């Protein structure tokens, strides 16, 4: 039986840390033996890893999630034996419709918001004489010095935060009606005649 | 403190917190996205006049439960996999040729005929390249490699949580809620409901149209 002091000393974060360290250790051991440490030396792979770290924003992440969702979620719904065939068919149609609508709007809005932030977070050296709204081009730029990579990640973050705010509204204005229209289209086409 | 300095503080906080760590930003904005999406679903039901009050009492807790599954599953799975990927690099398990050369010169790795190995009894769990005194020599290449591996880990984690774990959990949860509702509607014990037959396609579509979310796969904003 657990004593009062052991309950008092129990900390969720400590327990989670311990668990996570253990899982990580087992997983790390499984990755490769310490006798032959993996080294990525293929230049193409190294360039790809570098490119992903620098350029993959939340917009591309959303696109990847959407594409992989189309390859997995309809099949998960199709194998759900806890509902009857008609519900299952409708559920698959709605899942596909939701993924298409959600990915299209999610990607577009994130991309547009990141571009908008980029337009108003310029470094002084990036402002050209023929640019419009020259006075506003630095409004969203940070005041601290940073590297070009850090600035790019900053723009991605600010753009994503802006996109999340915009999507609270577009979720109802675009996604919901588009999902409904696509669901009806898919449900109509997949109906047994 | 005026509005301008508050705004500058906000911008600089974003820069220092997420500028050097893109994977962390993707996880946090992902969690925020799921949370806002779930909150939007709850509000949509709460303000919808066409849904009777009795149904709102059922739908709102269901939507909150649904949202909790999304947020918790996304955060736990994604952050565990991202941390694992991160530790692969910071512990020196996975490296580029230059990082491996640096570790060899620092006496951490030993070159063998097959490749590289560590000293006997070396404890990976206590080692972190970033804590080495001569870390500055490899910092740029290491950071760029680690950011890439972190983002790949984060993406793999989010695919696993959003597209595999969450839909399975949500289907289970939704099916059990549906069974319970049907049992209540038909005044029978839940155990006796084999699976939710008896609900017509028209009724299901009416419910699905009223309620923005469905039993499977939430729409992440």
Alpha helix (H) residue ranges in chain B:
3-18, 22-46, 53-90, 97-105, 139-160, 166-185, 201-210
Chain A residues lying within 8 Å of B204, measured CB to CB: 86-87, 90
User: Would you tell me which residues 78-97 of chain B have a C-beta closer than 8 angstroms to some C-beta of chain A?
Assistant: 80, 83-84, 87-88, 91-97
- Torsion A50-A53-A59-A62 (CA) sign: positive
Mean predicted confidence (pLDDT) in B85-89: 89
Give the pLDDT score at A176: 80
Question: Does the structure show a pLDDT above 80 at A191?
Answer: no
Tens digits of residue pLDDT in B147-160: 999 999 999 999 99
Nearest to B37 among A149, A161, A171 (CB): A171
Query: What are the pLDDT digits (tens) for A107-156?
Result: 999 999 999 999 999 888 888 888 888 888 888 999 888 888 888 889 99
For A27, the closest of B84, B197, B218 (CB atoms) is: B84
> What are the domain boundaries of chain A?
57-190
**How many whole angstroms from its chain centre is CA B210?**
28
pLDDT over threshold 50, residue B143: yes
Neighbours of B50 (CB within 10 A): 7
Q: Among partner residues B100, B151, B218, which is closest to A39 by beta-carbon distance?
A: B100
Q: Which pLDDT tens digit goes with each residue over B6-51?
A: 888 998 998 888 888 888 888 888 888 888 877 877 887 788 787 7
State which H helix or E strand residue A104 sits in: helix A85-119
- First-last CA distance in chain A: 64
Q: Who's near B79: CB < 8 A, 6+ residues apart?
A: B27, B157
Contacts of B95 in chain A (CB under 8 A): 37-40
User: Looking at the complex, does the CB of residue B66 fall below 8 Å from at least one CB of chain A?
Assistant: no
pLDDT tens for residues B65-80?
778 888 888 888 888 8
pTM (2 d.p.):
0.77
Share of chain B above pLDDT 70, in %: 82
> Stretch A169-185: mean pLDDT, rounded?
86
Widest pairwise Cα distance in chain B: 75
Q: Where does A66-160 show beta strands of DSSP type E? A: none
Q: Could you give the ipTM of this predicted complex?
A: 0.78
Per the CB < 8 Å rule, is B92 touching A37? yes
């Amino acid at each position: 039986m657990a004593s009062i002091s052991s309950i008092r000393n129990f900390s969720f974060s400590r327990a989670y840390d311990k668990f996570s360290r253990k899982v990580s250790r087992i997983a790390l051991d499984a990755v490769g033996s310490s006798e032959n440490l993996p080294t990525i030396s293929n230049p193409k792979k190294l360039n790809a890893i570098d490119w992903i770290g620098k350029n993959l924003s939340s917009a591309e992440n959303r696109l990847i999630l959407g594409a992989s969702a189309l390859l997995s979620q309809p099949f998960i719904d199709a194998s759900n034996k806890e509902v009857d065939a008609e519900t299952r068919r409708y559920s698959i149609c709605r899942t596909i419709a939701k993924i298409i609508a959600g990915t299209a709007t999610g990607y577009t809005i994130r991309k547009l918001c990141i571009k908008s932030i980029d337009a108003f977070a310029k470094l002084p050296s990036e402002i050209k004489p023929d640019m419009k709204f020259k006075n506003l081009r630095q409004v969203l730029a940070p005041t601290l010095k940073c590297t070009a990579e850090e600035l790019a990640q900053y723009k991605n973050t600010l753009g994503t935060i802006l996109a999340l705010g915009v999507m609270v509204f577009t979720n109802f204005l675009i996604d919901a009606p588009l999902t409904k229209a696509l669901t009806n289209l898919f449900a109509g086409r997949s109906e047994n005649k | 403190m005026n509005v301008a300095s508050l705004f500058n503080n906000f911008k600089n906080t974003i820069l220092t917190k997420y500028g050097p760590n893109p994977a962390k930003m993707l996880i946090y904005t992902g969690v925020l996205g799921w949370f806002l999406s779930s909150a939007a679903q709850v509000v949509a039901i709460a303000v919808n006049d066409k849904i009777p009050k009795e149904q709102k009492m059922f739908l709102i807790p269901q939507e909150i439960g649904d949202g909790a599954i999304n947020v918790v599953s996304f955060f736990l799975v994604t952050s565990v996999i991202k941390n694992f990927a991160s530790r692969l690099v910071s512990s020196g398990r996975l490296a580029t040729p230059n990082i491996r050369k640096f570790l060899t010169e620092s006496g951490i790795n030993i070159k063998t005929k097959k490749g590289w190995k560590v000293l006997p009894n070396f404890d990976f769990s206590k080692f972190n390249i970033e804590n080495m005194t001569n870390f500055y020599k490899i910092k740029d290449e290491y950071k760029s490699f680690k950011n890439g591996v972190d983002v790949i880990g984060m993406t793999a984690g989010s695919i696993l949580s959003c597209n595999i774990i969450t839909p399975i959990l949500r289907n289970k949860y939704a099916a059990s809620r549906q069974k319970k509702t049907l049992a209540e509607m038909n005044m029978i014990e839940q155990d006796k409901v084999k699976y939710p037959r008896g609900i017509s396609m028209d009724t299901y579509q009416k419910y699905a149209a009223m309620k923005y979310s469905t039993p499977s796969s939430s729409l992440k904003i």
